[in-house]
Amino acid sequence: MESSPPPMDSTPSGAQPVEDAAQPIPASLPLPTPSTNTTPFKYKYTEAAPNPFPDEVSDAVWNKIYTAADSRIYNKNNKSAIESRKIRQKGQTRELAIQMCREKLAQGLIHTDATGSTVLARSLKSQPTKKQAPEPSSSSRDATPTSDKMAAMSISEQIKSEGRNRKAVSVAPSSSSNQGTPGPSSTPTVPKMSPTKPDKPSSLKRKGTATVVKKPKKPKNQTRVNTPSGRDGQTPASNNFMDDDGDSDSNDGGEYCICRGPDDHRMMVNCEGGCDDWFHCSCIGMDIADAKELLDRFICDTCKTDEKFTTWKRMCRNVKLTGCRKACRPNADPPSKFCSDECKYAWGAWNKHHRFREDDIPSMGGALNIPEVEEILKQCQTMKDLELLGRKPRLAMKDGADPSRPVGLDYLTPEEKDVIAEYTARQGKIQEEIKCIKGQLELLTMLQRRAKAAIGHPLSPHKTPCGFDGRATFNDAQFNAWKETAEGIRAFKTESAGPRTKDSLHINRIEPLVGEETPPEPDLPAELRGMCLNSAKKCRHGDWYEMCRIDAGFRIKNLKDEFKKLQNRTDFIIDDAETREATKDYDAHNTVEQLF
């Protein structure tokens, strides 16, 4: 059940009516007169209630002023939501909001509209100044930064000045592009101003969230371009970022960026992915100079997809010499990899003094001199001819020949054929050894499964036996011999290693010394026969599976490296034979004369 509001002239006992706007309200006094609205207003922060100026300021305007005061305190405390909440609870935020409200009342920024509700103006900057304003021009490009007045203005002041001119005279944007002017391009049109919607009460939320309060739109005097094609004739300062240098009174109390802070005059970029939010460069780790010169399109992490992502302009090639971090001119006529002619000439001068020799001595390898470079360029008619310089000459493939067969095989000498045959035979043996080692790894896996099955066996002397089997240490010859036995054939067929049988006990068996008797075989079931049953923690065969596996992998790696070296030597011999045949006529005109 809602209680009826108190009458307008009712004042709590002990509280003074608010008549003098300049008189401060101490924090120790009782709360001022509550709001006289018919329904309770839902403030963003509960500490904002009640309205200290119910007769002069509406609850909606007081809510905005209190939110702006809280944003100031939030930014002054290094964007700490915990500190700002403590200050709100102490009442310091309310004192600051009351002071801000009195200042705005004194400046006339809070007035009553035609409907009878109080309206909060943006700031004094939006009010007409006392100075005589120049006559509005038919084009927004007349106020260029080259004039004396505009040269002394900051980027934000230039943008705001042009914004006022555009509002005064509604004309179509110019089709020409003015490089260096922070105005809009010819592609976008000036949007229509929609009527101001009434403020909706926002629910209570914590600092740092971005889904509860609807963020206000940025002022229209900050120009942004939503398509990359519309930014060709603009400086980066007018594309999709803003940098305000005004005072703290221009803080609109909005929430932007991932920090959810206000427009606190730091460099900001606009997301063109759909959320239309603004982000501080310092919060997203973006260099301010790169954002002004190189940023083409910014997409935040929330809007980022496979098709939409942040793009950058290509950097000037002179960055390695002078550190120039400006965009090149790919759309110039002719296209240029440099940002200006100065960088282009500096790059050419550096190449002349560091990459070419200034003397006329013929080159015997190393850097060329300038006459040699000129002669090479005269011989090359096209870029393709220049790219072919320094490459080995090749023979044309015969008609009907196998494309995968090297051409040099037809021009090998007998000695080269013998060497290649030797390399090929060795490569065949390497492949057989690798195949044998892989078979040993399969046997090792089967022995490991057999050892795990013996854990917890009722007849095992230990709960976790070692499980080592002598077949894990077979060399290549022993493994090949064991693989041909019935035991080996059955093991690879069933993929399960059983106990040792009589036909394979002679393989890898340790013969007793002369006069030494062979100990009798213990009577054990087939699951435990032939493996080490000592405790796994105290046995000398510790980590036998890992050691055998690593050893096999190391052997395979060495064999593959050797195989690759032999293949490289074979390819070199075949390639050299082709080069020799292709260049045999280069010195055909030379003759040898025997003098004695």
Q: Which two tokens stand for residue 60?
A: 């909606």
Q: b/e per residue, 545-582, with b = 16+ CB within 10 A?
A: beebbeeeeebeeebeeebeebeeebeebbeebbbeeb
Same domain, 92 and 45: yes
Q: What does the DSSP 8-state code read for residue 407?
A: G
Is residue 374 assigned to a domain?
Answer: no
- Report the pLDDT value the prediction gives residue 256, as an integer from 0 to 100: 86
**Gap between the Cα atoms of 143 and 164, Å rounded:** 11
CA-based nearest residue to 300, from 276, 321, 324: 276
Same domain, 219 and 300: yes
- Report the pLDDT value the prediction gives residue 418, as an integer from 0 to 100: 95
Helix ranges restricted to H, 334-413:
341-354, 370-379, 383-387
- How far, in whole angstroms, is CA 454 from its chain's centroid? 52
- Any idea what the Cα angle at residue 361 is, between residues 358 and 364, rounded to 5°? 110
Is residue 373 assigned to a domain?
Answer: no
What string of DSSP letters covers 488-552?
HHHHHHHT------GGGTTTT--PPPTTPPPPPPP---TTTTTB--SBTTT-TTTTHHHHHHHHH
**Distances 524 to 165, 273, 413, 536 between C-alpha atoms, Å:** 102, 74, 66, 19
- Report the pLDDT value the prediction gives residue 264, as an integer from 0 to 100: 79
SS (H, E, C) 161-201: HHHHHHHHCCCCCCCCCCCCCCCCCCCCCCCCCCCCCCCCC
Is residue 535 assigned to a domain?
Answer: yes
**Gap between the Cα atoms of 295 and 492, Å rounded:** 63
Same domain, 413 and 555: yes
- Write out the residue range of the structural domain in which residue 25 sits: 14-121
Is residue 515 assigned to a domain?
Answer: no
Is residue 359 assigned to a domain?
Answer: no
Number of domains composing the chain: 3
Q: Which two tokens stand for residue 38?
A: 């018919």
Same domain, 534 and 490: yes
Q: Which positions ≥6 away from 297 have C-beta within 8 Å? A: 228, 240, 272, 310, 311
One digit per residue, the tens of pLDDT, for the chain of length 596 reads: 344 444 444 444 444 444 444 444 444 444 444 444 445 788 888 888 888 888 888 888 888 899 999 999 999 888 888 888 889 888 899 999 998 888 888 888 887 666 666 676 655 444 444 445 445 444 434 444 444 444 455 555 665 565 555 444 444 433 333 333 333 333 344 444 444 444 444 444 444 444 444 444 444 334 343 333 333 333 333 344 454 444 444 555 677 888 888 877 888 999 998 888 899 998 988 999 889 889 999 999 889 998 889 999 999 988 888 888 899 998 888 889 999 999 999 888 887 777 766 676 777 667 777 788 888 888 888 888 888 887 888 888 888 888 888 989 999 999 999 999 999 999 999 999 999 999 999 999 999 999 898 888 888 888 888 989 888 989 999 999 999 999 899 999 988 888 888 888 888 777 767 777 766 677 788 788 888 888 888 888 888 999 999 999 999 999 999 999 999 999 999 999 999 998 888 777 777 778 87
**Domain final position from 257, 290, 313:** 313
- Report the pLDDT value the prediction gives residue 164, as an integer from 0 to 100: 52
Phi-psi region of 257 (alpha: psi -120 to 50; beta: other; left: phi over 0): left
Is residue 178 assigned to a domain?
Answer: no
- How far, in whole angstroms, is CA 562 from its chain's centroid? 40
**Distances 111 to 60, 68, 178, 198 between C-alpha atoms, Å:** 13, 18, 40, 16
Residue 329 main-chain phi, psi, to 5 deg: -120, 75
- Report the pLDDT value the prediction gives residue 531, as an integer from 0 to 100: 86
Is residue 248 assigned to a domain?
Answer: yes
Rg of the chain on CA atoms, in Å:
43
Q: Which two tokens stand for residue 63?
A: 């809510």
**Distances 217 to 222, 228, 270, 384, 534 between C-alpha atoms, Å:** 11, 21, 12, 55, 78
Classify 402 as helix, strand or coil: coil
Is residue 499 assigned to a domain?
Answer: yes
Is 135:80 a contact under the CB 8 Å cutoff? no
Same domain, 430 and 473: yes
Same domain, 296 and 424: no
- Report the pLDDT value the prediction gives residue 563, as an integer from 0 to 100: 96
**In angstroms, how far is the first alpha carbon of the chain from the final one?**
131
Same domain, 434 and 568: yes
Same domain, 434 and 304: no
To which residue do tokens 């493996």 refer?
531
Kindly state the helix (H) or strand (E) to which residue 447 belongs, with its residue range: helix 414-453
Structure confidence by residue, pLDDT tens digits, 233-280:
333 333 444 544 444 445 556 778 888 888 778 889 999 988 888 999
Structure confidence by residue, pLDDT tens digits, 319-364:
888 888 899 998 888 889 999 999 999 888 887 777 766 676 777 6
pTM above 0.75, yes or no: no
Same domain, 100 and 160: no
Q: Which positions ≥6 away from 15 have C-beta within 8 Å? A: 29, 30, 31, 32, 33
Same domain, 116 and 157: no
**Distances 321 to 317, 351, 355 between C-alpha atoms, Å:** 9, 11, 14
Same domain, 221 and 114: no
- Percentages of the chain per state (helix, strand, coil), in multiples of 5: 40, 5, 55
Same domain, 540 and 444: yes
**Gap between the Cα atoms of 176 and 380, Å rounded:** 42
- Report the pLDDT value the prediction gives residue 231, as an integer from 0 to 100: 37
* CATH code where residue 222 lies: 3.30.40.10
